[in-house]
Amino acid sequence: MATPSLLTTLLILLVGVLCVRLASGRLARWAVPAIVLELGLGFLLGNTVLPYAAIAPLEGITQLGVLALFFQVGLEVRGDLLTSRRESILKVVALSVLAPLIAFWPLWLGFGMAPATALLCLAVLCATGTGVTLRVLAQRQALQSPSGRLLVGVSVLDDLPAIALLGVASAMAGRSLGPQGSEALGMMALGTMALGLLLAALSWWAVGRWAAAAPLSAGPLSTLLVLIACAWVGEVSGLTSLLGALWAGVLMARLAPPAQPQREVLVLLAEVFLPLYFISVGMRLPAASLLEPRAWTLAAFLVVVAVLCKLVCGLGVSAADRRAGVDPAVVAFGLIPRGLPGLVFGTTALARGLIDTVQFAALLIMVTVTTVLGLLLLERRLARLPTISGLGS
């Protein structure tokens, strides 16, 4: 079958996005987010009329939506993020990061994974689908409640160690998958990561001095330039473009927070390109991989661990914060969806040879199930609360 032209591919994808938008409104009450429909559409297209090779030239462009979303998360990492409920936020983050580590040995010994592959799975288990969770809170007008604010703080910080695990897994893969001299390649990877961290520290200092000397007004071009430059540094240093994009948002918030028109540009990038990215992820999944029993066995194990390790996070909410209106169930349920970070980590790992298509299928199943289940539990918990203000004010 001949590969469709670029315009034909774009037309098919955009029509698919439109159909997903129309269907997602009808399925909203079942807590089925558009991301699940977009993955399903990509799977159908990739295994029928539109092979992944057709969208491969657009891969860099579709990732703009991912980078824009992480940039917006970085903009929310303000200095006051930990001034309120710091103890509970740090405890919940610690539980969210440490609890999945118990799965390393079963993945390594029971499923026969290489250590780098097992670490990648842990990175996906540690991650949190910040975007879909915050969207539900915003719709329920609970984003500024004590539970919502605590969940924002946890969600933002939660992905940092997950991204770090992805970087370590990639560095280990460089050592284990390389031919002779792989030890040197691994050390080089760790060295570039250290250099990337040094550049991040220097940029924080430089931006602070710059902002104090001459506050700026960020335009669309400068905002996009900072985003792409930081994402590029994160990618070449081995820290991943995701962490670079998030750090770009942190720097921009410190230097010159974008005005409303610039924020609208970021929203536009995310709204247009994120659905295309999710469709492209579904297109990567061959139908044959879903016929492998190993994929479903691994997926079942990952789903159980993914749900349990986030439910434990509710224990991190202090008694004082509970009295102030923080609901531990809202926090725990809001952390269950793996959403975008889980998909990005899995796709990145597949591209780098960390996982095979069967393991990729298991990760996609886990991300889909946890996203739907987490949002469904969160919606029902919010509906059972007396009032939105009952979460605290």
Q: Residue 286's domain is classified under what CATH number?
A: 1.20.1530.20
**Whole-angstrom distance, CA of residue 34 vs CA of residue 373:** 14
Tokens of 140: 């329920």
Of 393, 209, 377, whose CA–CA distance to 307 is shortest?
377
**Whole-angstrom distance, CA of residue 160 vs CA of residue 89:** 14
Residues in the chain: 393
CB distance 51 to 3 below 8 Å: yes
Task: Kindly give, in sequence order, each residue whose CB lies less than 8 Å from that of residue 229, ignoring residues fewer than 6 positions away.
Answer: 248
Q: What is the pLDDT of residue 82?
A: 57
Residue 229 located in a structural domain: yes
Continuous segment of H or E residues that includes residue 279: helix 260-283
Of 196, 195, 261, whose CA–CA distance to 222 is shortest?
261
Q: What is the pLDDT of residue 303?
A: 95
Q: How many domains does the chain have?
A: 1
Q: What is the pLDDT of residue 379?
A: 83
The sign of the CA dihedral 213, 219, 221, 225 is: positive
CA–chain centroid gap for 86, Å, is 23
Task: Kindly give, in sequence order, each residue whose CB lies less than 8 Å from that of residue 123, ignoring residues fewer than 6 positions away.
Answer: 162, 163, 165, 166, 169, 345
Q: Within the chain, what is the greatest distance between any pair of CA atoms? A: 64
Residue 22 located in a structural domain: no
* Predicted structure pTM score: 0.77
Which three-class secondary structure state does DSSP give residue 114? coil
CB distance 71 to 25 below 8 Å: no
CB distance 227 to 50 below 8 Å: no
Q: What is the pLDDT of residue 59?
A: 73
**Whole-angstrom distance, CA of residue 63 vs CA of residue 60:** 5
Q: What is the pLDDT of residue 384?
A: 79
- The boundaries of the domain holding residue 319 are 34-50+58-385
Tokens of 135: 């969207």
**Whole-angstrom distance, CA of residue 302 vs CA of residue 169:** 18
**Whole-angstrom distance, CA of residue 185 vs CA of residue 127:** 27
Residue 2 located in a structural domain: no
CB distance 303 to 366 below 8 Å: yes
Residue 26 located in a structural domain: no
Q: What is the pLDDT of residue 378?
A: 86
Average pLDDT by consecutive 10-residue portion of the chain (393 residues)?
71 80 65 74 85 76 78 67 73 90 90 88 84 72 77 75 76 52 50 76 79 65 82 78 80 70 68 80 87 92 94 89 87 86 82 86 91 86 65 42
Q: What is the pLDDT of residue 178?
A: 40
Residue 23 located in a structural domain: no
With residues binned 3-state (H G I as helix, E B as strand, rest as coil), the percentages for the chain, rounded to 5, are 80, 0, 20
Q: What is the pLDDT of residue 388?
A: 47
Residue 393 located in a structural domain: no
Tokens of 285: 């999944």
Of 227, 219, 337, 236, whose CA–CA distance to 273 is shortest?
227
Q: What is the pLDDT of residue 308?
A: 94
Residue 119 located in a structural domain: yes
CA–chain centroid gap for 55, Å, is 22
Q: What is the pLDDT of residue 24?
A: 67
Task: Kindly give, in sequence order, each residue whose CB lies less than 8 Å from that of residue 291, ignoring residues fewer than 6 positions away.
Answer: none
Residue 391 located in a structural domain: no
Continuous segment of H or E residues that includes residue 116: helix 115-126
